[in-house]
Every structure is written in structure tokens, then in C-alpha cells.
Amino acid sequence: MGENGTEKFMIRTDLAVEAKESFEEDNVEIRGVIIDEKYKEDSDIKITRVVIETKNGAKAMGKPMGTYITLEAPNMVVPDEDYHREISKELAEQLKKIIPIEKEIAVLVVGLGNREVTPDSLGPNVVENLLITRHVVKEYGKEAYGKNKVNIISGIIPGVMAQTGMETLEIIKGVVEETKPDYVIAIDALAARSTKRLNRTIQITDTGINPGSGVGNHRNGLNKESLNIPVIAIGIPTVVDAATIVNDTMENLIDAMEQTKELKAIGGTLKTFDSNEKYQLIREIISPHLNGMFVTPKDIDETIKLLGYTISEGLNIALS
């Protein structure tokens, strides 16, 4: 979650679809970025595909080159009878487009995050519900499953640095070298820029996990560059940085001021600030106590349980 010095005013978001929107707000067109939107009426899922094709596109978006697919489903956390199987199925379908599962493959699923902090426990939760097959196939052969094609699935919950003293990359790199999977799928709780996408958006990307702005230094990420095999990342935004919440409010404040007679002059002044200037102003006035703070809903426990199940079922469908 570090920030890259040269892009210092960039709003922090893990979602490509939000990075895109922030440009749209400023009416800036981004070269090298292709966007494609689709809405599936029967399942009420909006699918957005963002492809960053060039280095300039990557720089502008603050994200590495690659494909980012988001599934937005407004009712994702509304409990229903079959735990949103329609979303699991759509996730499986999108995954299969990224991972060509014609022949048998070996996949290591990595559950990132801290199982002891509720909104950060999505990754561990998914791995706990996953159908693990590697040990069975190694001991008894795929006949154990009565099928003639069985993917080799392993899983790990590496913990966070405060618990292990190690970078996640150090752990995963070692495990990948020993067990030689064909793919890594990393599951993570993300930070969104806005509360409105919280817990209702799944992002799937073939670029892996890339802390910070993602341009330049990839060494600490979980990606093809660091692990030498393709890394697919699946994430759901479950928190918003506290600083971002404050920024959102500023934007609303300025709009409100425009419409309040006695405050109109002020709103006008602030309006002349561009987004970098506004963000800098906000950074200055935000209490230092807000660093390392996140915002999350009070019922996040139920949400994580439901979302974790939806993702693990999506993986089980795609991989079995």
C-alpha cells in the first residue's frame, strides 16, 4: 500500500475501474487504455474490461499493463438462497478466459491478508473453503476423483508481515520454487476509492498484486516478473482509506457550497483547484492520526463470510 513519490497526488485505489473514472471526472482521455462495458440483465452484473496496453497508459492509470475485469453486482451482499451462485458462475467464466484450462494445470491459491482483522480476512476465508486436491492426486492419482482430468490445487495463507516478519513475496516465492505450480491465483481484500463500490465489486486481473502505484518497481509484488509464472489476482474492495473518505467529503462539500448562497464564493474558489491541489490541501489538513486507519462497515463479518463463499465457489467451479 506504499505510494510512489512521482505520482504523489494520485488517489489511492486498487480498482482499475476507479482509476479510469477519476480521469473521466477531469475530462482527460487516456491513450493506451481500452475500456469495454457490458451488462448482463438476467444476473444483474455489470462487467467492465479495462486493458492497459502501453507504458504511457500504465503511467497514467497508476497500474501495470494488463487486463482488469470488474464484476459489479449491487446485490452481492444481500443474502439469498444459493449464495449468489450466478456471481460465482460469472467469476468462473471470466477466470477461464484468463487461464486456458484445456489441459490439466497446477494452481497455487494464495489467501493474502490478516485473518485476525475482519475486513482483511477475505483471502484466508476463500482458501479455507477451497477444494484442495494436490495431496490426494500425488498420493492416490487422479483416479481418486473418478475423473480423467483433475487440476492440481494447492493453497496457502501466508499471514501478514507483522505476524511473520517476512515479505509475502519471500514466502510465496519459496513455495512456488518447491512445488512448481503453473499459475498463482492470489485473493486479496482491496481498498476502494469510494464507499459506493465497497463489497459489491470483484476485480480479476492478470497483472498480479502490485503494491504502490504499480509503475516502475515490481520487485515486491506477486507477479510474473517476481515469480516467473502467471499470477492472477482476484480482489474485492472491503475498506476505504480514511484519508480517501475525507477527500470524498471535500468534493461533496465543494458541490454543496456551489448551491448554498452565502458559501457560493468559497465553493467557486475551491473549484478552481485541480484534483492534485485539492488532494494536497486535504493531505495537509488531515490529522496525522488518520495514517494507517481504514473505514469499513459495521456488518463486515457477515459480508466477508458471504463474499468469501462466492469467490471460493467461483474458483471451485472454474478449476474442477
Of 56 and 276, nearer to a copy of itself (C-beta) is: 276
Residue 213 to residue 10: CA distance in whole angstroms: 8
Q: Tell me if residue 278 falls in helix, strand or coil.
A: helix
Q: Which of the stretches 26-34, 86-94, 126-134, 204-212 binds a copy of itself when contact is defined by CB under 8 A?
A: 126-134
- Residue from the set 134, 193, 200, 218 that interacts with a copy of itself by CB under 8 A: 134
Interaction of residue 228 with a copy of itself, rule CB under 8 A: no
Residue 194 to residue 119: CA distance in whole angstroms: 16
| 37 residue type, one letter | E
Residue 320 to residue 281: CA distance in whole angstroms: 51
Question: Number of residues in contact with a copy of itself, rule: CB under 8 A?
Answer: 76
Collect all residues with Cβ–Cβ distance below 8 Å to 244 and sequence separation of at least 6: 11, 12, 13, 191, 193, 194, 295
- Residue from the set 51, 92, 229, 242 that interacts with a copy of itself by CB under 8 A: 242
Please, which of residues 252-311 interact with a copy of itself by CB under 8 A? 252-253, 255-256, 262-263, 265-266, 269-270, 281-282, 284-287, 289-290, 292-302
- Residue from the set 21, 44, 86, 128 that interacts with a copy of itself by CB under 8 A: 128
Tally Cβ neighbours within 10 Å of residue 230: 16
Of 210 and 296, nearer to a copy of itself (C-beta) is: 296
Q: Which three cell numbers stand for residue 98?
A: 484468463
Closest CA to 11 of 250, 209, 254, 213: 213
Please, which of residues 38-97 interact with a copy of itself by CB under 8 A? 79
Are 10 and 62 in contact by the 8 Å Cβ rule? The answer is: yes
Interaction of residue 13 with a copy of itself, rule CB under 8 A: no
- Residue from the set 80, 116, 143, 274 that interacts with a copy of itself by CB under 8 A: 116
Residue 1 to residue 149: CA distance in whole angstroms: 39
- Residue from the set 13, 48, 88, 133 that interacts with a copy of itself by CB under 8 A: 133
Of 105 and 253, nearer to a copy of itself (C-beta) is: 253
